[in-house]
Amino acid sequence: MEATSRDSAAPLLAGLPAMLPALEAAYKDFHAHPELSMREHRTAAIAAKHLQDSGYDVTTGVGETGVVGLLRNGDGPTVMLRADMDALPIREATGLDYASKATAEDADGNSVPVAHACGHDMHVAWLMGVTSLFAGARDAWRGTLLAVFQPGEETAQGARAMIGDGLLTRFPKPEVVLGQHVMVGPAGMVAGSAGPITSAADSLQIRLFGRGAHGSMPQAAVDPVVMAASLVLRLQTIVSREIAATDAAVVTVGVLQAGSKENVIPDEAVIKLNVRTFDEGVRKHVLDAIARIANAEAAASGAPRPPEITPLDRYPLNVNDKQASERVAEALRRHFPADSVRHTGPAPASEDFGCFGTEWDVPSVFWFVGGTDPATYARAKAEGRVNDLPVNHSPLFAPVIHPTLQTGVEAMAIGALAWLGK
């Protein structure tokens, strides 16, 4: 089937203006009531009821809290659309009148603030809008729509949990898997590219062992704080001195924990770090270097035992299929103004979205939708301050509702229509 044009999409999108107020209300509700990964019970229930009310065959509890909606509309391909639902243990600082004040118990039993600081609330609203459009305009398309509301993206659990719970055998195999993410960029803009689009990510914990003593007697200790500090600094040399300038990698230490009293040298220290790469060879080199340096620092410090290195989570490299990407881009270019559809390089952010296409062995396409007020973005760009704008995972991150909401619904609908259009 040919990629959709603005005219051919008109019947499908005709109902969108009337549903925008309800979608905005739903988005604000999700934003004010975020839920941690794999605990998205309220969000999942709302998504399931929406699908049921729209005439979809609905299956809940797929991979714990995942929701799958199936709408068959005659002969034609099956297209999977995915939205993630989970929020982050972050205290929101946007000051919005619908800002989250929620708290929840994390996996360690601690009470933590919770906020939709990555835009997954917008993703859920987008997919709700798209599923309504397809349900309400069946004369405009043919085939099967497979809508997946996924849990646990932030912890790299959700996609694998749904796959492990029989997603691939319980539902029709799609011809293509499509997804999108709100990011910093002028609202109203969509951007993507063929090839790698989000990085592989590995999170690790390194536990360093020392020998505790009184703070006044360092000669009696093996200080794990100094060991950890040296390790943090030395790890930065992996990218600067071991990775070629033509390759890309990021090594970030996000946690350094040791001791509880200023005059006590503790027995151990813990650091947690995150690695982003776009090439499997580079990834292996970085991970091997981390282990080599950690063991060497421990030996140089006279540690009583080698460090413990524990993997925490892993995201696969997300690669957009070339032909499917071109098909989506062509459809988007035909629908949106020319300057609203842009090419972008791969982002160092990571996603488990790619698991679906990989496990099903079908093409997948993932793209970005801008969520920053266009005037604010233009001013920041003119002043060289784009890096000062609140990014995903910031306590200040919150996309502007308009036109982000409408743009995302249109983009996902247009992408699906590139396969399902009559």
Whole-number Å distance between alpha carbons of 11 and 9: 6
Per DSSP, 139 falls in state: G
Q: Is 343 annotated as a binding residue?
A: no
* Contact of 258 with 225, CB cutoff 8 Å: yes
Q: Position 70: which residue type?
A: L
HSE-CB for 315 with a 13 A CA cutoff:
27
Whole-number Å distance between alpha carbons of 19 and 145: 20
- How many residues in total does the chain contain? 422
Q: Which residues contact 21 (CB under 8 A, 6 or more apart)?
A: none
Whole-number Å distance between alpha carbons of 74 and 421: 12
Reduced to 3 states (helix: H, G, I; strand: E, B; else coil), residue 221 is coil
First to last CA, the chain: 8
Whole-number Å distance between alpha carbons of 233 and 230: 5
Q: Is 402 annotated as a binding residue?
A: no
Whole-number Å distance between alpha carbons of 312 and 350: 15
Chain Cα centroid distance, residue 71: 26
Report residue 170 as tokens.
């319980």
Give me the residue label for tokens 């990629």: 3
Q: Is 181 annotated as a binding residue?
A: yes
Whole-number Å distance between alpha carbons of 19 and 38: 29
Q: Is 154 annotated as a binding residue?
A: yes
Whole-number Å distance between alpha carbons of 4 and 9: 6
CA nearest neighbour of 38 among 162, 211, 197: 162
Q: Where are the beta strands (DSSP E) in 121-169?
A: 143-150
Annotated binding site for Mn(2+): 118, 120, 154, 181
Annotated binding site: 118, 120, 154, 181
